[in-house]
Amino acid sequence: MPSDSSSSSSSSSSDGDDRNPNSDPNPDPNPDSIDQSLDALESQLASISMSSRSPTATIDDEEVAEEEEEQSVEQLTIGNGPLNEEIRAEEATDSVEDEHIGNNSNLRAEASGVINTRPSSLCRNISEVDEVERPLSPSSSGYAGERGSTSGDDEIDDDDEDDNEIREVENDGVLESHAQWVSGKRHPDEDDASVSWRKRKKHFFILSHSGKPIYSRYGDEHKLAGFSATLQAIISFVENGGDRVKLVRAGKHQVVFLVKGPIYLVCISCTEEPYESLKGQLELLYGQMILILTKSVNRCFEKNPKFDMTSLLGGTDVVFSSLIHSFSWNPATFLHAYSCLPLAYATRQAAGAILQDVAGSGVLFALLMCKHKVISLVGAQKASLHPDDILLLSNFIMSSESFRTSESFSPICLPRYNPMAFLYAYVHYFDIDTYLVLLTTSSDAFYHLKDSRIRIETILLKSNVLSEVQRSLVDGGMHIGDLIIDPTSRAGAVSSHLGQPRPATGSPGRIMDGFAGIGGPAGLWHFIYRSIYLDQYVSSEFSSPINSLRQQKRLYRAYQKLYTSMHDKRIGPHKTQFRRDENYVLLCWVTQDFELYAAFDPLADKALAIKICNRVCQWVKDVENEIFLLGASPFSW
């Protein structure tokens, strides 16, 4: 049983920004318990604070404020308004922090000599970011995101998907897929002199050890040569002192460094994500680069330290930006596990059998995927596939449009498998979402793999796998509303098949007693279950009140923090954690076999939440052969 190891008191939030905007604002008409009347009271408070603004834009006004000039004027006027008062108030306090930026303590101690020459421009740049913003935010589209909410440590902290989320405001609560996200390089016209560039909340840079830019999330790499040189100077200055710079804090900004031989990776972020998370993201970014080029790219730097790598990565902006985007919506990026498309056991077996057949004949790995989820995968004897490799491979394939046009044969490196060598990937899309990847070591296996694909396709069609996949995409997997916890009459009555028709909302089978919040029973909003043995995770479908991409992202960031704290080697490892703030109750439970992350209504009852978590684990076990790929070759590394 989980026991609480930490618990912060619930602070009731009267600020509409911290409430969920798209959630059903109507309090339950039948407030028969204390919890519920509190709920109702809070909802009323929330709606009061909302009422001073446009109803749809309440929480999203930060996004709107964060928007660029290209957005519609309408949205702007919604977004600015009452919030400006808060911005001004906040800025007064923030200006104090700006002072810190110039003379950051981490760096100041040892780097004073260099700071005066070049690195100072970095510090100046960062501090200027805030300075420049200040006059801007009240009048123009401004910049409120960073300091958006007036209370709480879990600030809304998005940086990307501006365009996307604006559309989301229009759609108001409709669950939108990630497909809307505009791929490719954003704002290539910017450089470090642009105000808009400095306002970006999360920058990623890849540069060479000679300071040459290789990749920048925003702006033109070539124009950022000076900035890259600055980053390189900081790294090499510390290295010259026999040390290594990992993190520089500058006010709200964190500058995270990762050195991989001749390749330097840097993240500059004010999203308040933990250092470990940002470092993990840099590792993945590096892995993505290795997937495209292999680690033998290092040899180019041995021959010529001033080697310019940008041309080698030509046309891959979209791959990196799509990966960076996934940091905010794909839990696989911090769980280091993969997820499966929910499918009937027999369906997945049928797919696995034909892949196994093919894997016997010269195929190293065969993967059948639907978007970023695995339908089935098979490895040749002794070959194992790391979840991070699956993530990077699927990101590469899905973000490169040309794979959808026709079958392809392309060199690809799996960084966790062998970072030095290319494999050859045969890629074929069966439909818009479902694709097959056959990996081989043999460069002339194309026709063989093409034949294998034809065989696989025949079997998949015959056994209706592809249509089942489409159905699963529509139906989804685990809906928290299906979790039944009434221990007396319905004990163990959790549906053991995902595909069964679910009782309609409000039917007697559902928990609608005094503890019910919106979402699932006892205020359960969402959960992620990670099986340690299988290296797989399952995430419940999002439902009210976690409706918008923005809220999903915020929840993922909260999980990410929780994950980091659970795995913190200095103070952990922990077994359980119960955390309550104004946004959620978060409960994490780690055992030898699994990790469970669950989010509840902030007013959820602790004992009941623990009980629900037990039910969730039981539920996962009941349906495990539909949500997980079982019996795959054991993953050992």
Partner 1 sequence: MGCSSSVPDRNTGRAGGINPDSGGVIDAKNLRVKLVLLGDSGVGKSCIVLRFVRGQFDPTSKVTVGASFLSQTVALQDSTTVKFEIWDTAGQERYAALAPLYYRGAAVAVVVYDITSPESFTKAQYWVKELQKHGSPDIVMALVGNKADLQEKREVPVQDGIDYAEKNGMFFIETSAKTADNINQLFEEIAKRLPRPSPT
Place of tokens 């892949």: 355
Buried b (16+ CB within 10 A) or exposed e, 547-558: bbbbbbbbbbbb
- Residue 293 interacting with partner 1 (CB under 8 A): yes
Cβ 360 to partner 1, closest distance in Å? 9
- Which residue in the set 410, 470, 565, 614 belongs to the binding site for partner 1 (CB under 8 A)? 410
Pairing outcome for strands 585-590 and 253-260: unpaired
Alpha-carbon gap, residue 266 to 206, rounded angstroms: 6
Q: Name the strand (E) or helix (H) holding 303.
A: helix 298-303
Give me 319's structure tokens.
Answer: 């791959």
Alpha-carbon gap, residue 481 to 494, rounded angstroms: 11
- Residue 9 interacting with partner 1 (CB under 8 A): no
Cβ 413 to partner 1, closest distance in Å? 8
End-to-end CA distance of the chain: 30
Cβ 172 to partner 1, closest distance in Å? 29
Tell me whether residue 88 or residue 299 sits nearer to partner 1 (CB atom): 299
Alpha-carbon gap, residue 299 to 606, rounded angstroms: 56
- Which residue in the set 103, 112, 140, 296 belongs to the binding site for partner 1 (CB under 8 A)? 296
Stretch of residues binding partner 1 (CB under 8 A), selected from 32-40, 219-227, 414-422, 616-624 = 414-422
Among residues 24, 179, 27, 151, which one has the least CA distance to residue 89? 151
Cβ 306 to partner 1, closest distance in Å? 17
Residue-by-residue DSSP string for 67-103: --TTS-HHHHHHHSSHHHHHHHHHHHHHHHHHHHHHT
Give bridge partners of residue 248 from the DSSP assignment. 255
- Residue 411 interacting with partner 1 (CB under 8 A): yes
Give bridge partners of residue 429 from the DSSP assignment. 435
Among residues 19, 16, 280, 272, which one has the least CA distance to residue 154? 272
- Residue 358 interacting with partner 1 (CB under 8 A): no
Residue type, 440: T
Stretch of residues binding partner 1 (CB under 8 A), selected from 170-178, 334-342, 361-369, 510-518 = 361-369
Residue type, 44: Q
Phi and psi dihedrals of 252, rounded to 5? -85, -5
- Residue 441 interacting with partner 1 (CB under 8 A): yes
- Residue 512 interacting with partner 1 (CB under 8 A): no
Stretch of residues binding partner 1 (CB under 8 A), selected from 86-94, 358-366, 368-376, 508-516 = 358-366
The neighbour count for residue 140, using CB atoms within 10 Å, is 13
- Residue 380 interacting with partner 1 (CB under 8 A): yes
Give me 4's structure tokens.
Answer: 């609480």
Alpha-carbon gap, residue 282 to 265, rounded angstroms: 6
Cβ 547 to partner 1, closest distance in Å? 31
- Residue 294 interacting with partner 1 (CB under 8 A): yes
Tell me whether residue 147 or residue 212 sits nearer to partner 1 (CB atom): 212
528 with 331: CB under 8 angstroms?
yes
Size of interface with partner 1, in residues (CB under 8 A): 46
Stretch of residues binding partner 1 (CB under 8 A), selected from 142-150, 197-205, 415-423, 481-489 = 415-423
Give me 415's structure tokens.
Answer: 């960084």
Alpha-carbon gap, residue 401 to 634, rounded angstroms: 32
With helix as H, strand as E and coil as C, how does 219-270 read? CCCHHHHHHHHHHHHHHHHHHHCCCCCCEEEECCEEEEEEEECCEEEEEEEC
- Which residue in the set 139, 381, 488, 507 belongs to the binding site for partner 1 (CB under 8 A)? 381
Alpha-carbon gap, residue 326 to 333, rounded angstroms: 7
Give bridge partners of residue 260 from the DSSP assignment. 263
Tell me whether residue 293 or residue 610 sits nearer to partner 1 (CB atom): 293
The neighbour count for residue 444, using CB atoms within 10 Å, is 9
Stretch of residues binding partner 1 (CB under 8 A), selected from 219-227, 405-413, 459-467, 589-597 = 405-413
Binding mask 315-354 for partner 1 (x = CB under 8 A): xx-x------------------------------------
- Which residue in the set 40, 132, 312, 518 belongs to the binding site for partner 1 (CB under 8 A)? 312
Alpha-carbon gap, residue 620 to 529, rounded angstroms: 8
- Residue 423 interacting with partner 1 (CB under 8 A): yes
- Residue 289 interacting with partner 1 (CB under 8 A): no
Binding mask 167-206 for partner 1 (x = CB under 8 A): ----------------------------------------
Whether residue 573 has a cis bond before it, omega within 30° of 0: yes
Cβ 216 to partner 1, closest distance in Å? 18
- Residue 425 interacting with partner 1 (CB under 8 A): yes
Integer angstrom CA distances of residue 539 from 329, 337, 482, 525: 12, 11, 14, 11
Phi and psi dihedrals of 432, rounded to 5? -65, -25
Tell me whether residue 404 or residue 611 sits nearer to partner 1 (CB atom): 404
- Which residue in the set 450, 471, 606, 611 belongs to the binding site for partner 1 (CB under 8 A)? 450
The neighbour count for residue 120, using CB atoms within 10 Å, is 15
- Which residue in the set 109, 177, 303, 382 belongs to the binding site for partner 1 (CB under 8 A)? 382
- Residue 558 interacting with partner 1 (CB under 8 A): no
Stretch of residues binding partner 1 (CB under 8 A), selected from 32-40, 260-268, 400-408, 603-611 = 400-408
Tell me whether residue 350 or residue 632 sits nearer to partner 1 (CB atom): 632
Among residues 326, 320, 335, 66, which one has the least CA distance to residue 214? 320
- Which residue in the set 29, 113, 242, 314 belongs to the binding site for partner 1 (CB under 8 A)? 314
64 with 76: CB under 8 angstroms?
yes
- Residue 304 interacting with partner 1 (CB under 8 A): no
Tell me whether residue 203 or residue 295 sits nearer to partner 1 (CB atom): 295
Place of tokens 């004010």: 270
Stretch of residues binding partner 1 (CB under 8 A), selected from 74-82, 117-125, 417-425, 461-469 = 417-425
- Residue 442 interacting with partner 1 (CB under 8 A): yes
Cβ 329 to partner 1, closest distance in Å? 23
- Which residue in the set 31, 102, 152, 362 belongs to the binding site for partner 1 (CB under 8 A)? 362
Cβ 220 to partner 1, closest distance in Å? 17
- Residue 503 interacting with partner 1 (CB under 8 A): no
- Residue 454 interacting with partner 1 (CB under 8 A): no
Residue ranges binding partner 1 (CB under 8 A): 292-294, 296, 311-316, 318, 361-362, 364, 380-384, 396, 400-403, 405-412, 417-418, 420-423, 425, 441-444, 446-447, 450
